[in-house]
Amino acid sequence: MAKIIDGKAISSQIKDEVKEKVAELAAKGISVSLAVIQVGADPASSVYVRNKKKACEYCGIKSLSYELPEETTEEELLDLIRKLNKMDDCNGILVQLPLPKHINEEIILDEISPLKDVDGFHPMNVGALSIGKPGYVSCTPAGVIELIKRSGYTIEGKECVVIGRSNIVGKPMALLLLRENGTVTVTHSRTKNLKEVTKRADILVVAIGKPRMIDASYVKEGAVVIDVGIHRNEDNKLCGDVDYDSVEPIAEAITPVPGGVGPMTIAMLMKNCLTYFDVAK
Ligand code: GUN
């Protein structure tokens, strides 16, 4: 029986810590604010954005809401970002992805000031992470590190295997595990003998984007297994990239879906809203 890593409880703890720090800043006359920009009305994005705003409210962070029509041009969006970059009373900027097809995501994300880049997607922040300098770290992989550490597991010296190499999860995940002194291997869709590699892992982080692909045959007995995936199965129920029922009996610990990594992303976003006061000094 694996220990079930409770992302809901850990994320609540983090939000409470943020709330306390926001109150301390408020007592010094400093207000924390986050601009949340959504272009169009993609239903999944609307749910995420609503949850982000709710978390802001809980933590005492002022959310500046920009709900722009689908037809917004790239130039209009760039103008808004430039305005927010200069605004003293805005210290975080988040552009919800995906953007409509006519807008180039890379151009938009590159325009966000690296000092207000709460998603940690700007090349300056990605570069800072890769050479161990302070900066914003992408929320989901940062949340995975918190889940592992706050559940009492050490990363130092452990064999850590990441499945997936996306810019948002896999790559920053590998860099963060390395920063924690793990021995890190990154695997992906072209990896040969994937099982041989994943079976070495003391800590296995799965972000491959394929429902329930990773069963017990990929996992070493006693591994800590973190599932970043989220999908709907044939019964419309949520599931991850890990076949939970197969892996749970042999793992030391495992994150459920839902209730594992998912809630951590927003909690780390709230935490990142405080980073401005460190990096912008
Ligand atoms: N869309 C899905 N996940 C994310 C995220 O972490 N940040 C942003 N900005 N958009 C997303």
Closest residue by CA, ligand 1 atom 11: 97
Is pLDDT of 167 > 60?
A: yes
pTM value is 0.96
How many A from CA of 46 to the centre of ligand 1? 11
pLDDT tens digits for range 116-133: 999 999 999 999 999 999
CA distances (Å), 108 to each of 34, 121, 135, in order? Answer: 17, 11, 19
Question: Distance between CA 263 and CA 259 in Å, rounded?
Answer: 6
How many A from CA of 97 to the centre of ligand 1? 5
Residues of the chain above pLDDT 70, percent: 99
Tell me if 109 CB under 6 Å of ligand 1.
Answer: no
Is the peptide bond between 98 and the residue preceding it cis, with omega within 30 degrees of 0?
Answer: yes
pLDDT tens digits for range 176-219: 999 999 999 999 999 999 999 999 999 999 999 999 999 999 99
Closest alpha carbon to 10 in 141, 146, 140, 177:
146
For domain 30-115, give the CATH superfamily. Leucine Dehydrogenase, chain A, domain 1 (3.40.50.10860)
Closest residue by CA, ligand 1 atom 8: 96
Q: Where in the chain is the domain with CATH 3.40.50.720?
A: 139-262
Tell me if 94 CB under 6 Å of ligand 1.
Answer: yes
Q: What is the pLDDT of residue 278?
A: 85
Cβ count near 165 (within 10 Å): 18
Closest residue by CA, ligand 1 atom 9: 96
Atom of ligand 1 nearest to the CA of 168: 6
The one-letter amino acid code at 204 reads: L
How many A from CA of 1 to the centre of ligand 1? 33
pLDDT tens digits for range 56-79: 999 999 999 999 999 999 999 999
How many A from CA of 215 to the centre of ligand 1? 27
The arrangement of secondary structure in 139-262, i.e. its CATH architecture, is 3-Layer(aba) Sandwich (3.40)
Q: Where in the chain is the domain with CATH 3.40.50.10860?
A: 30-115
Atom of ligand 1 nearest to the CA of 265: 6
Query: What strands, in cross-sheet order, belong to the sheet with 33-39?
Result: 62-68, 33-39, 93-95
Is pLDDT of 280 > 80?
A: no
Tell me if 178 CB under 6 Å of ligand 1.
Answer: no
Closest residue by CA, ligand 1 atom 2: 97
Atom of ligand 1 nearest to the CA of 95: 9
Token pair in block for residue 47: 């749910």
Q: What is the pLDDT of residue 281?
A: 57
Annotated active-site positions, please?
A: 52, 96, 119
How many A from CA of 216 to the centre of ligand 1? 30
Give the up-direction half-sphere exposure of residue 115: CA atoms within 13 A in the CB hemisphere.
13
Contact assessment for residue 96 and residue 37, using Cβ atoms and an 8 Å cutoff: yes
Tell me if 119 CB under 6 Å of ligand 1.
Answer: yes
Tell me if 142 CB under 6 Å of ligand 1.
Answer: no
